[in-house]
């Protein structure tokens, strides 16, 4: 689905303002109106940074979420939080919350993404396209321990498929014209999983909204505390992932020194390609020259109308000063290349 040349966007998350983290420490003392006002102010700040940078497509910065997916578990009935197994030492993925199943998995209130999108639409200025992101069922299943009723990760995933599917339908019904289904766990574990099964799970999840919105998926290798969680190779996913029912596949490239970039030529024959051209795991702030060079490398393999550029992953683990500077360089670099076409 060709679009304007070299579209600029973000994946989803944006750094929390420092005052939002301070508020979170005292959230139990606040009333619901206090919490709502605080989230709205944080979303307004995230929007302002993205608009000031000049992005074509923006999000709410996921300011109402704790991590890109952990907050979703609060919407699920049938879960209990497990005791944290490791609290000290270097930060890693085993310090993220895990849940045990205590009943039927249900989400009677939805997953909250529709409310996030409606708040974004209310607060955003006219001009940028608005995007909403929802984690896919396979990724959501990764923090949930199997049980007698849900004996393995795929059983948990299948229970989550209709829940995520329902949220996607409600997003489209609410008027969201750009939806991303984040499935980083699929890319993290494609080297050892049945990739055809992963594709089937994904396509059944998104089936009701295919053709009704611009649909993308983000495939990365983990970014908690700037740490990957798996071998960072895309080759095991292809050609199977070309059959994902999406308009765009987004790949993490900057942190991997653009390894396997040749894959985008094949992707670009069938789909749009999103490329991470700034590294969210590094405090090095790319220059517009860096971004320009990276985009031109992509254009040797894919048409500009098929290409969008963004950070590698969500920016929630990046210092806000660095996130602002990286987005400015991203937009400036993309503008230079557009003008040279």
Residue corresponding to tokens 């001009």: 127
Q: Which residues lie below 8 Å from residue 270, measured CB to CB, with a gap of 6+?
A: 242
Give the confidence band of 67 by pLDDT, cuts at 50, 70, 90. Answer: low
Average pLDDT over residues 119-138: 96
Token output for 39: 């989230």
Give how far the C-alpha of residue 161 lies from the chain's centroid of Cα atoms, to the nearest Å. 18
| CATH class entry, domain 7-340 | alpha beta
Give the confidence band of 198 by pLDDT, cuts at 50, 70, 90. Answer: very high
Q: Are 99 and 144 in contact (CB under 8 A)?
A: yes
**Residue 71: its pLDDT value, please?**
79
Nearest C-alpha neighbor of 182 from the set 105, 111, 254, 269? 111
Model confidence, pTM: 0.92
Q: Is the pLDDT of residue 34 over 90?
A: no
Taking only the tens place, the pLDDT of each residue in 225-264 is 667 767 788 998 899 999 999 999 999 999 999 999 999 9
Q: Name the helix (H) or strand (E) containing 179.
A: strand 178-182
Which of 34-43, 133-142, 228-237 comes out lowest in average pLDDT?
A: 228-237
Taking only the tens place, the pLDDT of each residue in 9-24 is 999 999 999 898 888 7
């Amino acid at each position: 689905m060709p679009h304007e040349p070299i579209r600029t966007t973000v994946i989803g998350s944006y750094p929390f303002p420092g005052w939002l983290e301070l508020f979170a420490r005292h959230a139990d003392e606040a009333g619901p109106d206090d919490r709502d006002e605080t989230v709205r102010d944080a979303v307004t700040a995230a929007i302002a940074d993205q608009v000031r940078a000049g992005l074509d497509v923006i999000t709410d910065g996921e300011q109402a979420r704790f991590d890109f997916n952990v907050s979703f578990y609060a919407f699920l009935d049938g879960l209990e939080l497990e005791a944290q197994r490791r609290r000290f030492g270097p930060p890693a993925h085993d310090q993220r919350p895990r849940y045990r199943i205590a009943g039927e998995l249900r989400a009677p209130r939805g997953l909250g993404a529709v409310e996030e999108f409606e708040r974004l639409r209310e607060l955003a200025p006219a001009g940028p396209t608005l995007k909403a992101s929802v984690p896919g069922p396979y990724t959501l299943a990764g923090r949930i321990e199997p049980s007698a009723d849900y004996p393995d990760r795929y059983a948990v995933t299948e229970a989550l498929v209709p829940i995520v599917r329902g949220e996607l339908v409600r997003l489209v019904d609410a008027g969201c014209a750009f939806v991303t289904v984040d499935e980083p766990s699929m890319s993290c574990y494609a080297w050892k999983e049945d990739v055809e099964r992963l594709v089937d799970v994904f396509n059944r999840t998104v089936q009701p909204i295919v053709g009704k919105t611009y649909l993308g998926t983000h495939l990365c290798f983990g970014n908690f505390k700037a740490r990957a969680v798996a071998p960072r190779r895309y080759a095991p996913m292809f050609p199977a992932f070309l059959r994902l029912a999406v308009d765009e596949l987004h790949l993490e490239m900057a942190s991997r020194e653009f390894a396997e970039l040749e894959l985008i030529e094949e992707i670009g024959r069938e789909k749009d390609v999103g490329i991470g051209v700034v590294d969210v795991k590094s405090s090095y702030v790319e220059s517009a020259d860096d971004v320009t060079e990276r985009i031109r490398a992509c254009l040797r393999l894919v048409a500009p109308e098929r290409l969008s550029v963004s950070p590698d992953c969500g920016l929630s683990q990046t210092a806000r000063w660095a996130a602002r500077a990286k987005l400015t360089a991203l937009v400036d670099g993309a503008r230079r290349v557009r003008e040279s076409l």
